[in-house]
Amino acid sequence: MFFKRCQKKIYTQDMPAISQAFRCFDEVARRGSVRKASATLHLTAAAVNQQILNLEAQVGQPLFDRLPRGMQLTVAGEIVLAAVRRSQRDFDNALAQVEDLNALRHGHVSVGVPHATAEYLVPQVIAAMHQRYPDITFSVRAGIGEELLRHVAQGEIDVAYCLRRTPPAGVEEMRSWAQPLGVVMAPDHPLRMRPRLLRLRDCLAYPLIMMTPDMELRSMLERLGDGALSRIQPLVQTSSIPMARRLVASGQALAFMLPDNVAEDMAAERLSWRALHDAGSLLHSCAYQRTGYAMAAAMEMFLTELEHAADELKANFDTGVSWSIGNLAV
């Protein structure tokens, strides 16, 4: 507690009377003795006793029973002590927040993200943070989820942001964000204006641009299809999301992506995107860290900003088609 951390810095002339009275009261309650409390607080016994008397006068009741074996709290004393210790915790929390604020001025963010997130969301977050905290620096590694989690486990990055998976030993999930899987198409594609909700089966009659089997998007998609995708020969398989976007924009083929994969092309009206409504199409992107890792203030701020950016992105994509699980049965 703050009171314990600062014991050796307490002097009568440095402290407002009420603050010193609370400190003396708390220490006497702990020690059960004015003499022991005065030694801990580096004050005279007479000074500590006077602070207790002042506080009792303010409360209007005795806070201690003076017994031969020491000072014992009265009922009123127990009530006041609980309030004092709550104020101590609140002050501790306030100090921690101020320390975090100071740390933000010279922090460092070391994070790993998927390529598409590094392409769109992360630059937005860095720009927003740089405006407020220009001395924070960033290290961003782009890769696939399994690689990123290995980097976390090995201490090469502090946090990985990727689609949910079982983390390796020594790595734990700390936050998650829901993201819908959707169909990406050219703006003039016939599925764009189809009135009912889209499901994977509605897309299988068209040429498909698929991610390679080692990509998270591919494995997530195959879980929706009940084996249907294994019978489909894709027009193209690629590990490049930018390539898949270009191919979709140039013809009648479809691809399956998350909102942050196509946000820039959507804003420029080069592509259209519609949510899939198969059960299981609501995916989760998660932040992972080493077990027991004490997260720095700058990293906390980065993840908060990333969450805000993802929420704004979701709002931009939510154009009359709900992503809620309740609509999956429609």
The pLDDT value recorded for residue 96 is 67
Residues 129, 184 share a domain:
no
- Residue 330 belongs to some domain of the structure: no
CATH code, domain with 277: 3.40.190.290
Q: What is the pLDDT of residues 3-52, one digit of tens each?
A: 333 333 333 333 344 478 888 999 999 999 999 999 999 999 999 999 99
CATH code, domain with 139: 3.40.190.10
Residues 155, 23 share a domain:
no
- Residue 125 belongs to some domain of the structure: yes
Domain count, the chain: 3
Instruction: Indicate the pLDDT class of residue 329, thresholds 50, 70 and 90.
Output: very low
- Residue 328 belongs to some domain of the structure: no
- Residue 325 belongs to some domain of the structure: no
Copy the structure tokens of residue 325.
Answer: 């699980």
- Residue 246 belongs to some domain of the structure: yes
Quick one: what percent of the chain has pLDDT higher than 90? Answer: 39
As a whole number of angstroms, the distance between CA 330 and CA 129 comes to: 41
Residues 60, 72 share a domain:
yes
The pLDDT value recorded for residue 101 is 64
Q: What is the pLDDT of residues 134-151, one digit of tens each?
A: 888 999 999 888 899 999
Residues 204, 173 share a domain:
no
- Residue 220 belongs to some domain of the structure: yes
- Residue 327 belongs to some domain of the structure: no
Closest of 163, 187, 183 to residue 286, by C-alpha:
163
Average pLDDT, the chain: 83
Instruction: Indicate the pLDDT class of residue 186, thresholds 50, 70 and 90.
Output: very high
Averaged pLDDT, 297-325: 70
Straight-line distance from the first to the last Cα atom of the chain, in angstroms, rounded to the nearest whole number:
55
CB of 113 within 8 A of CB of 258?
no
Residues 92, 17 share a domain:
yes
Domain range for 89 is 2-104
- Residue 83 belongs to some domain of the structure: yes
The pLDDT value recorded for residue 121 is 85
Which of 104, 128, 149 is the last residue before a domain boundary?
104
Residues 6+ apart with CB under 8 A from 79: none
Residues 188, 68 share a domain:
no
Secondary structure of 59-124 in the HEC alphabet?
A: HCCCCEEEECCEEEECHHHHHHHHHHHHHHHHHHHHHHHHHHHHHHHHCEEEEEECHHHHHCHHHH
Residues 292, 170 share a domain:
yes
